[in-house]
Amino acid sequence: MAAIKNQSELNREIEELIKNKDASKQTYSEEDKAFVSQYVGSGGESTTGKTGEGILYEFYTPTYIVELMWELAYHFGFEGGQVLEPACGTGRFFSHAPKESKLTGFETNPISARIAQILYPVAEIHNFYFENAFMIQPRYVSRIKEGLTWLSGYPFDLIIGNPPYGRYRNFFSSYFTWPKVIQNELFFMYYGLKMLKKGGLLVYIIPDRFMRNGATYSQMKKEMGWICKLLDAYHLPPVFPKTSISTDIIVLQRT
C-alpha cells in the first residue's frame, strides 16, 4: 500500500507536472486539472516547518466558506458581471462564479497563479501584487496619475476573497502612503472598494480585530466610511486549523 503523501510532497509533484507540461506546450486533461487543484500554498504545509510572509498569504479558504460568501453576494444583489479576486490563490472563489461573469485575479505565488489560469482559462490572471493594478505598466515604478487602474474589468460589480493578513509591508507599499495603511487586510479593503462601481459589493473574510479594534483601525475605518456602507458581518468559529487568527465575514457596498 502506497504511503499517503503529505502536502509538501504533493505540491512538489504538482509543480513538476506543470513544469513539464508547460515546457512541452501540452494541454491539461480533466485529470490533470483535478490533480493540480490539490495544490495548497505554504499556509497549508504543516509538516515543512515553514514560517514567514508566505504563511500570511496562503491560507486558502475552505469550500464551505467560499460557498457562504457567494450566497451573501447573491443575497445582497449580485447578479453577475465583472468579478475581481485580489489574492486569488488557485482560484477557489472563481469556482462558484456565474458562468457569464468576467473574472480577474491577482496572485503573487507563480505556481498558484498558473494553476488558477489552468483551471479558469478565460479568467484574466495576473502574477503580480494587487498594488500593481494601480501602477503604470510595464515597470511599475510609479502610481497612475490619471484614472485609477489599467484593468480592463474596472469598475467591478463584485470583489470577493480572502486577502492576506498581517503587517502591511512589501515591494510596493512605499507607493501607497495615504491613507496610511498598517495591515494587509486594510489595503485590500480600501483599494478593493475603490475598484467597485457604485452599488458594487465587497465580500471578504478578514481578521476579527477590524470589527472590534479601536484606535489602531479608526483612521482607515473613517476613510472607508466615506465610500462604503456596512451591509452585514458574521463572526466565524475557527476556520483555518493551522493559525489562531479569529475571522469575520464582512459585506460592504460601495456608495
188-244 residue pLDDT tens? 999 999 999 999 999 999 988 888 876 778 888 899 999 999 999 999 887 776 666
Cβ density class 21-31: b for 16+ within 10 Å, e for less? beeeeeebeee
Average pLDDT of the chain? 87
Give the CATH number, domain containing residue 146: 3.40.50.150
Residue 115 within a domain: yes
Amino acid at 41: G
Residue 34 within a domain: no
Give the chain's domain count. Answer: 1
Residue carrying the nine cell digits 447573491:
74
Band of pLDDT at residue 52, cut at 50, 70 and 90: very low
User: Under a CB-based contact definition with an 8 Å cutoff, are residues 108 and 132 in contact?
Assistant: no
Using DSSP's 3-state secondary structure scheme, residue 176 falls into coil
More confident residue, 149 or 3: 149
Rounded Cα–Cα distance for residues 25 and 22 (Å):
5
Provide the domain limits for residue 166. Answer: 53-254
Residue 46 within a domain: no
Contacts of 169 (CB under 8 A, 6+ apart): none
Band of pLDDT at residue 2, cut at 50, 70 and 90: low
139-189 residue pLDDT tens? 988 999 889 999 999 999 999 999 998 888 888 988 998 888 888 999 999
Residue carrying the nine cell digits 502574477:
127
Residue 215 within a domain: yes
Residue 212 within a domain: yes
Q: Which three cell numbers stand for residue 135?
A: 501602477
Residue 12 within a domain: no
- E-assigned strands of the chain? 82-85, 102-106, 124-126, 156-161, 196-207, 228-235, 247-254
Residue 23 within a domain: no
State how far the alpha carbon of 227 is from the alpha carbons of 137, 163, 171, 208, 255, in Å: 27, 19, 27, 21, 5
Residue 151 within a domain: yes
On whether the pTM is more than 0.85, the answer is yes
